[in-house]
Structures are given as C-alpha cells and as structure tokens.
C-alpha cells in the first residue's frame, strides 16, 4: 500500500524557518517525481513545488521562489521542504503528493502537516 507521511509542521514566528519531511512507503521513491501542495485554512489547494526523480530539476510557485527549497533522499525514501523567511500567509496544511508516471497529476497524497506562522 502506498503511504506518504508528512512531519515537521508547527508554530513558527514570521521570518523563521521550518523543514518539512515526507516519508514514503509501499513504492520505490526514486521511480517517481514528487510535489508539495498546500492549503490555507478554509481555502483551496495551491501547488508549491515539484522535484524530478533524481532531484536534479525543481520548480517552484512564484510566491515561494527564493524562500523554499525542495529536496529528496531516495535512499531514505524521503522528500523535504526547507521553508525560510516564513510569512503569515504561508500558514497552511502542507501535503506531500506523488506524481503519476502517466501524466502531470498527483495519484497519492499524504495526510498533511500544519504549518502556522504567527507572532
């Protein structure tokens, strides 16, 4: 069974940093590209970042570019999101999502981890 388990969320002050992790099981992480998607309280889904199978290629939404860094450790079945210079508007549940090998959609999602940015 495919499982994605996020961790690392919590309360942080504006300007602070957090590192989110996502541990994958039930499949070989190196066979899949991966995404982070977030959802602010009461709002819709918002794509954050994407990483290729090897980690050599990454993409970011404009609102996080230069502040967030996506990375992966395939040997440890793990995906990461380093978040720096956090803003109040970054408050959201952050989901780790596996991208299908067929096309550009997410076929499995984790349960998410809540990041709250507040003073």
Partner 1 sequence: SYVLTQPPSVSVAPGKTARITCGGNDIGYKSVHWYQQMPGQAPVLVIYSNSDRPSGIPERFTGSNSGDTATLTISRVEAGDEADYYCQVWDSSTYHRVFGGGTKLTVL
Residues at the interface with partner 1 (CB under 8 A): 35, 37, 44-47, 50, 59, 61-62, 95, 100, 102-107, 109-112
C-beta closer to partner 1: residue 56 or 104: 104
Between the alpha carbon of residue 78 and those of residues 21, 115, 117, the distances in Å are: 7, 19, 24
Nearest distance, CB of residue 113 and partner 1, angstroms: 11
Nearest partner of 113 among 14, 3, 22, 13, judged by Cα: 22
Show Cβ contacts of residue 84 under 8 Å, excluding neighbours closer than 6 positions.
17, 67, 68, 69
C-beta closer to partner 1: residue 13 or 111: 111
| Whether 79 contacts 34, CB under 8 Å | yes
C-beta closer to partner 1: residue 17 or 63: 63
C-beta closer to partner 1: residue 9 or 112: 112
Nearest distance, CB of residue 20 and partner 1, angstroms: 15
Nearest distance, CB of residue 22 and partner 1, angstroms: 12
| Whether 47 contacts 37, CB under 8 Å | yes
């Amino acid at each position: 069974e495919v499982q994605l388990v996020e961790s690392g969320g919590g309360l942080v002050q504006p300007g602070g940093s957090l590192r989110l992790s996502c541990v994958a099981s039930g499949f070989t992480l190196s066979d899949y590209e991966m995404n982070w998607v977030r959802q602010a309280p009461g709002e819709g889904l918002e794509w954050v970042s994407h990483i290729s199978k090897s980690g050599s290629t990454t993409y970011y939404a404009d609102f996080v570019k230069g502040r967030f860094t996506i990375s992966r450790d395939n040997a440890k079945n793990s995906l990461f999101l380093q978040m720096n210079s956090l803003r109040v508007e970054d408050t959201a549940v952050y989901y780790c999502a596996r991208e299908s090998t067929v096309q550009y959609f997410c076929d499995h999602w984790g349960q998410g981890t809540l990041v709250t940015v507040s003073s």
